[in-house]
Structure 1
Amino acid sequence: MKISRGLTPSASRPYSVVTIGNFDGHHHGHRALLDQVVTTARREAGTALVLTFDPHPVKILAPHVNLMFLTSPEEKLARFEAAGIDEVVFLEFSPAFAALNPLEFATQVLRDGIGTRELFVGKHFAFGRGRAGRIADLLEFGAQFGFRVHPMPPVTIDGEIVSSTRIRQMIQAGELQKAMRFLGRAYGIEGTVIAGARRGTELGWPTANLRLPEGRVIPPDGVYAARVLWKARRLDSVVYIGKRPTFGAGERLLEVSILDERLDLYGETIRVELLGFIREDRVFPSAEALTRQIESDVAAARAQLREAALDPVSPLHSQS
């Protein structure tokens, strides 16, 4: 997959089939767009192209908003490639770029910048200064500049539109199973295992600790059923997110206890997929009381993991 920074019109790019967006989360709605782009590009022996922005437009247009993301830049690119995208074009979203009116955007970017021949966007897509451009404008520009526009309806689940904003809200509320259905997979966080205070080992439940990545959506503090992906293995786990208040609040971390195995993961990169909420974080009167609660948490995690494994339509049965 080719990655381009800025507009690089090229005669070697055949029949550009384009979609535009930020694609944070790579959810069901995103995949519907990408599937159409790739299918059309293959039929026309063309180029399946994603036009996206860096930084995210919200960072420029509303810098006061503390926007958190569902995917890292590396994960987003990996999912584009897995979807069959041939080229990703990153445009710098600057105040000057944001000032382009709809006609300038269509002329400088879609026609001259990437040679668009077909364009797939959501039917509520807006573009240009102040989001003034709408689908009707795109259709007019397409007729004028020689590209076809395909407005696509939103994907819905249980009558609710699938969107990155809605999925962020679900995860931040601890609604992981609902978020999983909208994403089409479990929500995951990747990181390198760091050394901890070894309290888990002292309690009989050793943990692999991750620092929570900056700028990522994190569910509420508490305990979760989880799965760890490490070296092509999938390991049933229970996860704690929080500051360990029973021992005096410290750094907020993600602590993983892998069930049924003891593995030395220090320095290893792992992906933790959060599958279901078990309980909120709380202070315990003693280490013994916490140990008894951990045993109960582990039993609850095992039950959730068994239930997920037996559900034939669970996203856990799809490739993450």
Structure 2
Amino acid sequence: MQVFTDLAEVPDDFGPSVVTIGNFDGVHRGHQAVLGRLVRLARADSRAAVAVTFDPHPALVHRPESAPELITGLADRLELLARTGLDAVLVVRYSLEFAEQSPEEFVTRYLTGALGARSVVVGHDVRFGRANAGTLATMVDLGGRHGFEVVAVDDVGECAPQDDGAGDRWSSSAARALIAEGDVAQAADVLGRPHRVRGVVVHGDARGRELGFPTANLGGIDGMVPADGVYAGWLRRPGLADREPDHPDVVLPAAISIGTNPTFDGVERRVEAYVLDRTDLDLYGEEVVLEMVQHLRPTVRFDGIDALVTQMTDDVVRARAALLS
């Protein structure tokens, strides 16, 4: 998948294409359904399948004090978008200046001018251009004047019904609420994959190593950190995967701890992962991805080291059962 971060990077002869626009935070199952349809439309007409997305999220520019926490950072968003079969993504640097474009200026500069759009796939509630003045009707009118068809898609679907028969929309807000509660298993149902965070392994207090459970502490975390607690999950090493995709240490089972280490009167919230049964790994300075599979327990304060080690040993047993059984 090609990634363009500026209009100048788009080849002059790019297109014809089928284009959609959106933030795609989390690239959840609803996004995947819409993007899958776009890719099928593009393949049927031998056109490029393209998504236009924004960085930073528009809410962070217009209302930073109340903007939602993002599920995925840009690196993971692009990786997940690539999995849908897209040929290209244009990442638009969102700013107040960009937001002042009229709906027609946005369409003619980005969609038809740069990307050669012949079809534009949007939701019925699409809004674009200055003050969100552009609507589906606006897009259809612009399509008639600038030579592209508009494909309007229905809402992105429903999650699996609950016991009472009710469903919840596949949406970023639904996934975000579940992650905030630590319900990563249900969040995975919305996302279509385990929730992930990304960061660089940094030096911590070395307490885990002293206790027999050396952990990889993450710094510069990208992605929404779930509620405090202990989780079963996977530690992925994208750099190693690029160099040696078949290496057995590319994906490793882990017990992941999120919290302030209350047993040691900690105040700084940390994310750290113990790779099961491994004390030989040197991950310092390496970027890793943690995928949360199952919440094992909340964070609690223990009355001494022995009680903590006993609990950590049980955490490892439960994580192993959740991941490898």
TM range (shorter): 0.7 to 0.9
Partner AA of 2:289 in structure 1: R
The normalised TM-score by structure 1 is 0.86
1:41-120 mapped onto 2 (5 Å cutoff): 41-120=42-121
- Rounded Cα–Cα distance in structure 1 between residues aligned with 2:272 and 2:59: 31
64-73 vs 161-170, greater mean Cα deviation: 64-73
Post-superposition CA distance 1:18-74 (Å, at most 9, x none): 010121212112212222222222222222211122322112211222442222222
Q: Do the aligned partners of residues 172 and 142 (structure 1) sit closer, same or farther apart at CA in structure 2, a change above 3 Å counting?
A: same
Aligned to 1:316: none
- Rounded Cα–Cα distance in structure 2 between residues aligned with 1:26 and 1:76: 7
The answer as to 2:239 corresponding to 1:222 is no
Identity %: 35
Residue 293 of structure 1: how far off its partner (Å): 1.6
Contact 2:232–2:323 at 8 Å: present in 1 too? yes
Q: Do the aligned partners of residues 120 and 207 (structure 1) sit closer, same or farther apart at CA in structure 2, a change above 3 Å counting?
A: same
Partner AA of 2:78 in structure 1: L
102-111 vs 236-245, greater mean Cα deviation: 102-111
5+ residue gaps in structure 2? 161-166, 241-246
CA-atom RMSD, angstroms? 2.3
Q: Which consecutive segments of 4 or more residues in structure 1 shift more than 4 A?
A: 8-11
Aligned to 1:3: 3
Post-superposition CA distance 1:91-125 (Å, at most 9, x none): 23222332333344334443334332101122222
Aligned to 1:270: 288
Q: Secondary structure at the match of 2:221?
A: coil
Q: Do the aligned partners of residues 273 and 10 (structure 1) sit closer, same or farther apart at CA in structure 2, a change above 3 Å counting?
A: closer
- Rounded Cα–Cα distance in structure 2 between residues aligned with 1:79 and 1:285: 43
Aligned to 2:159: 157
Number of residue equivalences? 306
24-33 vs 105-114, greater mean Cα deviation: 105-114
The normalised TM-score by structure 2 is 0.85
Aligned to 1:176: 184
Aligned to 2:274: 257
1:238-257 mapped onto 2 (5 Å cutoff): 238-257=255-274
5+ residue gaps in structure 1? 310-320
Contact 2:256–2:271 at 8 Å: present in 1 too? yes
Contact 1:212–1:253 at 8 Å: present in 2 too? no
- Rounded Cα–Cα distance in structure 1 between residues aligned with 2:94 and 2:25: 16
- Rounded Cα–Cα distance in structure 2 between residues aligned with 1:281 and 1:5: 40
Residue 199 of structure 1: how far off its partner (Å): 1.6
